[in-house]
Amino acid sequence: MSNKENLKKRVGRPIEKENRVKIGLSIDGESNELLSKLSKLTGKTKSKVFEEAIRVLEKREETLRNRIATVERLGDAALLDFDEFIKNRKAIKIDEEVNHVVAS
């Protein structure tokens, strides 16, 4: 059997899985401990936790870029008026208390 045929007929675990890419990755000890902890807590593999974390980070960055674009487009009108927000929150709380008393 030639050396080329030997390479094709390897035994053991396959190196590559369908729709998967093996990457080399180096993380610090603290991150590895956190990854292990999350893996145990969720019952997911470290790879799955890592994949989900990447998607969460991507969504967060997309949201942040969209907010920045909105502020750039609308200027100050896009910003939250905290005084108005607090007034509305107080009004909602009073309304809920009144409705609770009326319903009782």
Tell me what pLDDT residue 35 has.
95
Three-state secondary-structure class, residue 76: helix
- The answer to whether the pTM exceeds 0.75 is no
15 against 1, higher pLDDT: 15
Q: pLDDT, tens digit, for every residue of 23-34?
A: 888 999 999 999
In 2-81, where does DSSP find H-type helix? 3-8, 29-42, 46-74
6-20 pLDDT, tens digit each: 556 666 666 667 788
Reported as a single tens digit per residue, the pLDDT across 61-81 is: 999 999 899 888 888 777 777
CB atoms < 10 A from the CB of 49, how many?
Answer: 19
Token pair of 60 as six digits: 């967060």
Query: Which amino acid would we find at residue 29?
Result: G
